[in-house]
Amino acid sequence: MREFDYDLDYKNLDLREHPELYRVGRGEQGVLLVEPYKSEILPHWHFATPDIAKESSETIYQMFLDYLADDDFVGADMARKFIQMGYTRARRYANHKGGKKYKGPVPDDKKGQSGAHGREELPRQTEDPIKAESARIFKIKWDECRENEDYLRMKKEHRARYS
């Protein structure tokens, strides 16, 4: 499996027109880079309260299904990544006041990439039940994405065709 390519000019690249350049990578890699999907999905991505998370996750999950129906694997994978990010960010806010997990700034060469990169994790707080419920809501949709047979087939085909 080839890793997500952070060296592409995502600001000027339409991955709907060039799906051959898209690499799934790991987890949420590229979620805030890949266009036109970032611009289509990001306005719907919210997790502040369970009600907001429910509406957001359902909207993005429908986008996921629509991308699949349009035979647009890249769009479906990006929607899956936004749903996954809804879960991980809500969990982070459930565990860390203000959502800050690590001490210090993110190194400039690691912006947009996951992981601690050697930074010390801040202590966890008592779990915020509102953010925990928001995370649970996104987790249900994330699991539905990961188990969707059309998505799994298209992911396998994309990797076979372009890796």
Domain range for residue 150? 39-99+126-163
Contacts of 51 (CB under 8 A, 6+ apart): none
Classify residue 71: in a domain, yes or no.
yes
- Per-residue DSSP letter, 27: T
Classify residue 32: in a domain, yes or no.
no
Classify residue 120: in a domain, yes or no.
no
Classify residue 151: in a domain, yes or no.
yes
- Residue 99 CA to residue 37 CA, distance in Å, equals 25
Phi-psi region of 122 (alpha: psi -120 to 50; beta: other; left: phi over 0): beta
Residues 94/131, Cβ–Cβ less than 8 Å:
yes
Residue located via tokens 């990544």: 81
Classify residue 148: in a domain, yes or no.
yes
The model's pTM: 0.87
- Residue 46 CA to residue 117 CA, distance in Å, equals 26
Question: Tens-of-pLDDT digits for all 163 residues of the chain?
Answer: 568 999 999 999 999 999 999 999 999 999 999 999 999 999 999 999 999 999 999 999 999 999 999 999 999 999 999 999 999 999 998 988 766 666 667 665 554 455 555 677 766 677 889 999 999 999 999 999 999 999 999 999 999 999 8
Residues 68/150, Cβ–Cβ less than 8 Å:
yes
- Residue 92 CA to residue 109 CA, distance in Å, equals 22
Number of independent structural domains in the chain: 1
